[in-house]
Structure 1
Amino acid sequence: MIRSLRLRLMIGAAILAVLFMAALLPALQRAFSIALENAIQQRLASDVATLVSAARIDGNVLSMPDHLPVEDFNLPESKLLGYIYDQSGKLVWRSTSAQDESVEYSPKYDGMIDIFTRISDRSGQEFFVYDVEIDLLGGKRAAYSIVTMQPESEFRQLVNGFREQLYVWLGGALLLLMAMLWLGLGWGLRSMRGLRSELDQIEAGDRERLSDEHPDEMLRLTDSVNRLLESERAQRERYRNSLGDLAHSLKTPLAVLQGVSETLANEPKNREQVQVLQTQIERMSQQIGYQLQRATMRKSGLIRHRAALDPLLDTIGGALDKVYRDKRVKLERDIPPGFSLPLEKGALLEMLGNLLENAYRLCLTTVKVSARKDGRMFELIIEDDGPGVPASQRERILKRGERLDTQHPGQGIGTAVVKDIIDSYDGELALEDSALGGACFRIRLPG
């Protein structure tokens, strides 16, 4: 399927141009043939007039001069032939050029003033014939048919030559037309390139809306896209505000419940019930935090973000080094300079925080972060030298919808958040064995 609009228009225009040329070619050839035949007829008629003016009647006998004004009649090798027939159709004179020709022609003398036709000789060679009936010759009554002939071969040569030239000129005109159409379409579609450039800027976050500097036919589209962008931006803002209000409204009741549980915990008889209450409060807090993270870490509709990887690793690694300072974890990096991932900064921070926290918690001494670009895909790999994850548990851990309440060892709500973030960016998450001996989380994101 051809996806280029310019190429589609070019192919359509080329097909129409070829069809037009194909229809024009026979019409031009026919027009040339008719014009050439008319020219031949006029020439033969002029040559007949020469013969008529040269003829004389002496005692009812036709006489012709030995040398005619038209030189072609006097040359044996000439293709212009002259004949005179009497009323009964008997040949009474032929030009010097016709002496060696074996053309058989019988004039009808049927009252027609002149006749223009074609005949063939015994060998199949065709001739143009112009026949004029004469009743008065040299001022005296005399009935004759004055005939001039010309081989059709010259006519065919001219027609074939014209056809060859026509092919060359029309082919050149077609190529020139295609080049002009290509340039014209490029100029006409320049506004599309401008629109594409503005959309790229919106995806990169360099501008917020499309400009109005586009053709009238595209303003309806640009206005619709701008309304969509504004609606998305407003909806996202409302979403964040509502989630913030929800989190704030739930924080106070949970704090109150936590305080009540701590008060009740002072009495030994309530210790078991308090433990259940505190467990449920903690679970509610985690679920609220997870749902807030899940809702806010979503890919924006038209906007593409880039987040640098090294600065975030510095921030997260520094914090985790303090938390796990007793383990003295070594964070190794295999990242190209200035490498960035196609994620919002907040989404990447949340994803790295969860994966690195798991790696720091489960590793022995080493955590490694690798990143590279493979074609249009970005790949991020986080490994550790810990105990790893049994193969029988990997599918369940990565299954969308697994939450903390499944009580899965070593994996909780953080992995679910990571999976949701990757899914929202149309990415892939795989859990493998690491060369370091532990778990390896491999993330692939489209650019």
Structure 2
Amino acid sequence: MKMSLGLRLLLSAALATALALIATAIVFNVLFRIYFEDRARSELETYLTLLSGNVSVSAEGDIEVAPISDPRFEQALSGFYWQVQIDDAEPILSPSFWASPLVLNRPQTPGVIAFADVTTDTEEVVAVANWVITVGEGETRREVFLAVAIGRADLDESVARFTTNSVLWLAVLGLFLFAASWIQVRLGLSPLQKIRSEVQHVSQSPKERLSSDYPSEVLPLVDEVNKLLDANDAALKRARSRAGNLAHGLKTPLTIMHGIERKVRRLGNDGLADDLMMEITSIQHIVERELSSSRDSQQVLRRSDVSTIVERLHKALGRQPGAEHIQWDIKLPSPLMLPFDEFDLTELLGNLLDNAVKWTESRIAVRGGQDGKDVVLTIEDDGPGIPQSEHDAAFSQGTRLDPNQAGAGLGLSIAQRMAQTHGCVLSLGQADMGGLQVRLSWSAAEAGRES
């Protein structure tokens, strides 16, 4: 499956944006957690320092702890706790501490703060800062193990709330960036759309060229396309010139051969005259084929009326020897426009009607009109027809289904090639009168767009 350039760019931008936003969300979350952890440790260190300053030893050697200025240490289950322990004695707990004392590893080095996360017996997780200090002097000198704890629920909730909010806003940012990428892709590819539009215009008016109103990155492509069109135009002119020279060069010999054919026929040698006429017709057919190929068959949008051309071909073909008995049944709306110039349509219909004249017994019918979404032209005869199995072979160049019949086997091949060049469909079928039906169709929507 081929993917458009715009879709590729849009998917690439969306993927890059999504990866960048996901990485940003992860980094923000990690940095925010580190920031809160540092803030919590700084707060614990401050409270531990305050607690250390409020601890003293009485003359009797008892530890005394003055209240800390933060009232949360006095409020039960506030999430702010402290405990003080001398040696292996029972710890002294803050009024807010209703759980059992914290089980902590005593630091080996006095004066060095240790941090840890501890779960209380009430399943509350707290962040703890603790250290060992020396209090008192002389005989009252004691090593005191101090710890301050803050519940992690508020910390974790703040981090989770930040994560949720950051993901939400990053998602909004992602939608905005996706919309911006879409606009950027559309604007970036607009020169290509303009090239496409101008190329379509050039196909209708071959003398036109692409304009130079493009970004510098696209101009080289535009210049190459214009050079290609110029080269194609020059080659077409040369081909037309050669074809004209060919036709002019063969005109005199063919005229002489026609004179010979008439002279032979007057001498009573009709068989030889017929053979000579067959070869003359073949040469004329081949010349006309090459002339048709050399014309600008890409000018699809030049349209011609079928009825006038069919009428002219009917008069010409009806005067051929042996065609006087043929009954022509022509019913065509006027106008019935097909996407050919007059020369190409004459070449195409000439081949098809010439075939019908060769194979018919006595009747040829030509019909035209709109059939659903298509404009249709049919040519039927009451001859032997062509079996379904031989339809493909009939379109092969140089194939003659009946070797005894005059011709070079090029008519249907040329007609099909011309039809395809002009965006039409040429098909074979069974005529109602028993012979061959040749059906030429093209889109009625295209016909309406070009009218």
Please state if 1:434 is matched with 2:431: yes
One-letter amino acid matched to 2:429: E
The CA deviation at 1:4 is 1.5
Distance 1:390 1:71, change over 3 A: closer
1:315-341, CA deviations, whole angstroms, 9 ceiling, x for partnerless residues?
A: 4325626875987744223x7x97654
Contact 2:331 2:366 in 1 (8 A): yes
Distance 1:171 1:256, change over 3 A: same
Aligned twin of 1:94: 93
1:230-278, CA deviations, whole angstroms, 9 ceiling, x for partnerless residues?
A: 2221112111111211221222234345546666777x6xx65x964x5
| 2:162 match: secondary structure | helix
The CA deviation at 1:215 is 2.4
Distance 1:150 1:207, change over 3 A: farther
CA RMSD, 1 decimal? 3.8
Question: Any residues of structure 2 matched to 1:28-427 within 5 Å, and which?
Answer: 28-59=28-59, 60-65=61-66, 67-86=67-86, 88=87, 90-108=89-107, 110-122=109-121, 124-135=123-134, 142-205=142-205, 208-259=208-259, 272=269, 276=272, 278=273, 282-298=277-293, 303=298, 305-308=300-303, 311-317=305-311, 320=314, 324=318, 329-333=328-332, 340-356=337-353, 362=360, 364=363, 366-372=365-371, 374=373, 380-384=376-380, 386-387=382-383, 389=385, 391=387, 395=391, 397-402=394-399, 406-408=403-405, 414-422=411-419, 424=421
Contact 1:204 1:305 in 2 (8 A): yes
The CA deviation at 1:36 is 0.6
Distance 1:315 1:160, change over 3 A: same
Contact 2:84 2:93 in 1 (8 A): yes
1:48-78, CA deviations, whole angstroms, 9 ceiling, x for partnerless residues?
A: 233234334432433233x542100110121
The CA deviation at 1:305 is 1.1
The CA deviation at 1:400 is 2.5
The CA deviation at 1:123 is 5.4
Question: How many residue pairs are counted as aligned between the two chains?
Answer: 434
The CA deviation at 1:149 is 0.3
Q: Using the alignment, how far apart are the partners of 2:439 and 2:171 within structure 1?
A: 58
Distance 1:410 1:390, change over 3 A: farther
The CA deviation at 1:2 is 4.2
Q: Using the alignment, how far apart are the partners of 2:313 and 2:281 within structure 1?
A: 21
What's the TM-score, normalizing by structure 2?
0.81
Distance 1:121 1:293, change over 3 A: same
Q: Using the alignment, how far apart are the partners of 1:248 and 1:305 within structure 2?
A: 27
- Of stretches 235-244 and 154-163 in structure 1, the one that deviates more from structure 2 is 154-163
| 1:117 match: secondary structure | strand
- Of stretches 403-412 and 386-395 in structure 1, the one that deviates more from structure 2 is 403-412
| 1:52 match: secondary structure | helix
The CA deviation at 1:18 is 2.2
Distance 1:168 1:154, change over 3 A: same
Contact 1:370 1:382 in 2 (8 A): no
Distance 1:261 1:56, change over 3 A: closer
1:350-387, CA deviations, whole angstroms, 9 ceiling, x for partnerless residues?
A: 2123334555784537432245475xxx5634133634
Percent of matched pairs sharing the same residue: 21
Contact 1:50 1:70 in 2 (8 A): no
The CA deviation at 1:176 is 1.6
Distance 1:175 1:3, change over 3 A: same
Distance 1:342 1:265, change over 3 A: closer
The CA deviation at 1:405 is 9.9
| 2:378 match: secondary structure | strand
Contact 2:297 2:422 in 1 (8 A): no
Contact 2:386 2:436 in 1 (8 A): no
Q: Using the alignment, how far apart are the partners of 2:408 and 2:257 within structure 1?
A: 27
One-letter amino acid matched to 2:95: T
The CA deviation at 1:43 is 1.4
| 1:98 match: secondary structure | coil
Q: Using the alignment, how far apart are the partners of 2:39 and 2:335 within structure 1?
A: 81
The CA deviation at 1:118 is 1.9
| 2:96 match: secondary structure | helix
Contact 2:329 2:366 in 1 (8 A): yes
Runs of 5+ unmatched residues, structure 2? 447-451
One-letter amino acid matched to 2:439: R
Runs of 5+ unmatched residues, structure 1? none
Contact 2:303 2:339 in 1 (8 A): no
Q: Using the alignment, how far apart are the partners of 1:401 and 1:212 within structure 2?
A: 46
1:135-188, CA deviations, whole angstroms, 9 ceiling, x for partnerless residues?
A: 356999653233210122332222222222232122222222111111111111
Q: Using the alignment, how far apart are the partners of 2:134 and 2:214 within structure 1?
A: 81
Q: Using the alignment, how far apart are the partners of 2:98 and 2:202 within structure 1?
A: 91
The CA deviation at 1:7 is 0.8
Contact 1:201 1:207 in 2 (8 A): no
Q: Using the alignment, how far apart are the partners of 1:130 and 1:301 within structure 2?
A: 91
| 1:431 match: secondary structure | strand
Q: Using the alignment, how far apart are the partners of 1:425 and 1:231 within structure 2?
A: 22
